[in-house]
Structure 1
């Protein structure tokens, strides 16, 4: 296949590994990598960076991530760069568990040891767990204040907060008790009182039922 047909096939499949591209282009892996660089492709931040996608294909979410089948891509760069960017963009810092829930890697991953050495973020113990904050002084102070506002035990993480907000949008007028149950993943439990406090903090309680939790 010529380059035009390969790119057409690439767009149809959305993601491809080097082995498949080498077969289609009938060239070596080294030559394929040159083509990928020329095409400015994104490399998956999971699956050992095995998969690629053309720049016009991903529809990145608010975190700058796009997942197709089993491959996860980031507009921020590689996995380390992505974690750092997520931390820097967060409102109240992120714990390893928070990061893991966003990018689907174990909280015990060696990448967390790597990012500790970064000059762009810092790790501190906060409310009994390690939290990563931006190293930029102004942003750090904002995140610390945000973390203090989330001081209530069981306060939703950034990822959990998104699930709650999405559930409110899909179910306007939902009672707080029901919201606390239905927006939690299997194995999670949201305290209705905390959920109500969270909604009050963001001035969202009016979008749910007045029923007291």
Structure 2
């Protein structure tokens, strides 16, 4: 007498052989229709990948997520948050100082610029140009402000002044020669929608051998 293996047991057995499956090979291996296999997956519990357009599946019991809520099997990425959209929002919101598109791409091991732009346009996240980077912040204004404050205290090597921003700094100083570095940073960040820190401005002056007393005679910074 042949014993029929329950679909759920067969499913678990297949995932024991390989932790990740695409739906068509999985359905073929189980000899069930795709809708039936999706139902079996839902009954047991599963994650779909945030990479490969969500085309890979794994059982909920399999991933060992890191502190950032991510788990990778080779180049296949899974997230505790779910989809790529939800994962981006979760990572950006949890970040103490926001994240650039480059940082997010490296973390997720996939291109995500287009999704980030769509999220920003829909108001799901905030975006601001800082130095040469577009940095993304949480949608919540209070959280975003906290992230910006943390970011301005950091000396991040990837956030450097472009010549255009350096000119803005010097032009603002010429208009307000009595302003401190902190006051300059606040004025520029508020009026130009470009976040800079007092430390960055001080480094700019040091880099070009400038002193405050010299700057009223310096109309622009050479764009070398």
TM-score, with length taken from structure 2: 0.64
1:127 and 2:131 correspond: yes
Give the match's secondary structure for 1:67.
strand
d(CA) in 2 for partners of 1:5, 1:35: 10
Q: Where in structure 1 do 4 or more consecutive aligned residues deviate above 4 Å?
A: none
Q: Which runs of 5+ in 1 are unaligned?
A: 156-213
1:22 aligns with 2:27: yes
Question: Structure 2: where are the runs of 5+ without partners?
Answer: 160-224
Which of 133, 149, 155 is matched with 2:153 structurally?
149
Aligned to 1:161: none
Q: Which residue of 2 aligns with 1:61?
A: 66
- The separation in 1 between residues aligned to 2:75 and 2:67, in whole angstroms, is 19
Asked which structure has the greater CA Rg, the reply is 2
Which residue of 13, 34, 38 maps to 2:43?
A: 38
Please say if 1:87 is aligned against 2:97.
Answer: no
Larger deviation, residues 65-74 vs 143-152: 143-152
Backbone CA RMSD of aligned residues = 1.8
2:134 pairs with 1:97? no
Equivalent position to 2:78, from 73, 78, 97: 73
* TM-superposed deviation, 1:151: 4.0
Query: Aligned to 1:136, which of 128, 132, 140?
Result: 140
Cα distance in structure 2, aligned partners of 1:128 and 1:24: 50
